[in-house]
Amino acid sequence: MEHLWEKCVAFHGHACPGLAIGFRAAEAAHVWLGMVGFSQDEALVCVTENDACGVDAIQVLLGCSMGKGNLIYKDTGKQAFSFFDRKNGKSGRIVFKRPLNPDFQRQQLQEHILTAPIEELFELKKPHFTLPESARLFASKVCEICGESAPEHKMRLQKEKIVCLDCFSPYDRGWK
């Protein structure tokens, strides 16, 4: 385990409680859901509900990444990770429990997260959404305003021109 923790720290750049959360969430995925090893393809999918330090541990330990299409960011701000195994159909949402001891200093908190029983740190729940579809390839289109290309599903039609999201001016009449 020490070697894997050091590998995560090297990737992330420093040790911290947030990285420890992701490290232990990956362990919980292994223990509770049988998800093992580094995903070379999209067989294992992680939907992370945060963009914090722990996501780096998920990338290192489980091989989930944005570029591969098996790490999906769903911004709720929660320390929650939903895992899906396309091969065996297993899934689970691993949610970090709060609150921890408010008297812990940063180093104490990190050590506690790294050593406490998984059941003390996390809850296993059912994901409240279905397995995301596999990543698709899209044709690129060139924006008729800035000249930069983007995948066709990210382009918009505006004043009879194909434009990228940066150049697109939404018409929302003030509604958000």
For 86-175, list the strands marked E by DSSP. 91-96, 122-125, 140-142, 149-151, 156-158, 161-163
Q: Is 130 within the bounds of a domain? A: no
Domain ranges, residue 9 = 2-125
What's the Cα-to-Cα distance from 160 to each of 151, 170, 176, rounded to whole Å? Answer: 18, 14, 24
Given a cut of 90, whether residue 162 has pLDDT beyond it is: yes
- Same domain? 96 vs 14: yes
Structure confidence by residue, pLDDT tens digits, 43-99: 999 999 999 999 999 999 999 999 999 999 999 999 999 999 998 899 999 999 987
Which CATH number covers residue 151?
3.30.60
pLDDT digits (tens, 9 = 90+) for 112-144: 999 999 999 999 999 998 887 887 889 999 999
Strand 91-96 relative to strand 122-125, pairing: antiparallel
Number of domains in the chain: 2
Whether residues 146 and 170 fall in one domain: yes
114 shares a domain with 30? yes
CATH number, domain with residue 99:
3.30.1330.130
In a domain, 66, yes or no: yes
